Amino acid sequence: MKMLIFKIFVLLVPLIGSYAWCMHAGDGKKVDRQSVTGLTESLATLQITSPTEPAKSKSAFILETPEEIEMFKTIQGLRNHHFSSHKIYEFIRACVNKQIAGASGYSKDALIAFFKKCKTQGFDFAVMCNENRETVLHIAADKGDAYVLMLFMQTGALSCPVNQSGVTPLHNAAFQADERSVRVLIQALLQEKGDINQADNNGMTASHWLTYAANPSNNDGKIASNNSEADGKALRLLLKAKADVMKTDKLGRTPLHWAARNGMQGLVDGLLKYVSHNQFLALLEMQDIHGLTPLRDAEFFKHDTVVVALKTKKHQSSLTKLLLEFLKDVGLLDALIFIIISYSYEELV
């Protein structure tokens, strides 16, 4: 009998202990399946933030119009897409097209306000990228879409994100020789005090990309500008912004190398207008990793007009250099007398 009572006691003790624990947990409330399910759902919706960053306020994010709600739903569906930056650009361009067509709710100010609202909640379209780290700004610049670039610049987006190859939106805009896109990005870059001579992983700056892309065989299947007037306008913007024409890429090539190699007379002339005589003479002697100078490139690829332009400029720069040295050595008065006598002699002959 005592043995039977002992066995019953051994069986009941664990059951009584479990019940007491459940009653004590949660301030005396039972832990049932419903409460566990509710806890799981709460964890699933919990936003995890960095310890160093405060949680973003939800109160600032109010979608006020049907258009904003429609745009936000579309963006939510696109943000995790394999090519999110391309898809988001296409969506934004569609919104801009509606705005241009006069659809209500898609004004320029409304689009900028919507982008800013989304940015406060972590939906910063300007930094969303695909697997190559190309952002919407890269895509817009590559398509020569200055309007979309301008919209993002007005939301405070940085103008120079880099992709996997170190390429910036300005590089893409220069590749396309799109004057308006280049202008928008340069203005933003100057306001940010950024580097106009920022190079990609191959050491190519925006000036390199502009002169490199002038040859369709260099475009790797992409369609670049083949408009010499557009090339010249884009180049002038870069040079006025203090682009360094002496900078070399990993092949040792300057922008003048690429312009001469591609036979781009307009770009060669444009580069020569913005360099001093001493800079030009130094450029003309610079050799790439194969030992080729810009003049040798032009001669090798039989770009005769470029060869003539470079040789003429070399002759003029050499004479100017000699004249300046002469003025320095003999003094201004003697130099003026020499010039007058030389001019009179030419007139008599």
The rounded distance, in Å, linking the Cα atoms of 176 and 139 is 12
For the residues 8-37, what does the mean pLDDT come to?
42
Confidence of residue 10 (pLDDT cuts 50, 70, 90): very low
Q: Which residue has the higher pLDDT, 164 or 327?
A: 164
The rounded distance, in Å, linking the Cα atoms of 146 and 292 is 37
CA-closest candidate to residue 231, choices 276, 179, 303, 278: 179
pLDDT at 328 over 50: yes
Q: In sequence order, what are the beta bridge partners of 135?
A: 129
Kindly report the pTM of this predicted structure: 0.69
Residue-level pLDDT at 124: 75
The rounded distance, in Å, linking the Cα atoms of 208 and 217 is 15
Give the amino acid at 280: F
CATH match of 247-349 with 3.40.1160.10: no
- The residues, ordered by sequence, that sit 6+ positions from 32 with a Cβ below 8 Å of its Cβ are none
pLDDT at 157 over 60: yes
The rounded distance, in Å, linking the Cα atoms of 295 and 329 is 31
* Contact of 152 with 136, CB cutoff 8 Å: yes
Both tokens of 281, joined, read 């003479």
3-state secondary structure of 273: helix
* Contact of 178 with 230, CB cutoff 8 Å: yes
For the residues 213-235, what does the mean pLDDT come to?
63
Side-chain-facing half-sphere of 38: CA atoms under 13 Å: 5
CA-closest candidate to residue 122, choices 87, 184, 72: 72
The rounded distance, in Å, linking the Cα atoms of 192 and 284 is 34
Lowest-confidence range among 36-45, 193-202, 284-293? 36-45
Confidence of residue 21 (pLDDT cuts 50, 70, 90): very low
Confidence of residue 98 (pLDDT cuts 50, 70, 90): confident
Lowest-confidence range among 276-285, 299-308, 318-327? 318-327
% of the chain at pLDDT higher than 90: 34
- The residues, ordered by sequence, that sit 6+ positions from 66 with a Cβ below 8 Å of its Cβ are 105
Residue-level pLDDT at 88: 78
Count of residues for the chain? 349
User: Average pLDDT, whole number, for the chain?
Assistant: 74
The rounded distance, in Å, linking the Cα atoms of 289 and 251 is 6
